[in-house]
A and B are shown apart, each in its own frame.
Chain A
Amino acid sequence: MNLVAMNNVVMVLYYLISAFFLIAVVRNFVKTKDPQEAVLFSIVMIPFVLRILRLK
Chain B
Amino acid sequence: MTDVGYVIAGWGIAAVVLAGYSVRLVLRIRQAERDDAPRNVKP
Please indicate whether A and B come from the same complex rather than being unrelated chains.
no
Contacts from A to B (Cβ < 8 Å): none
Contacts from B to A (Cβ < 8 Å): none
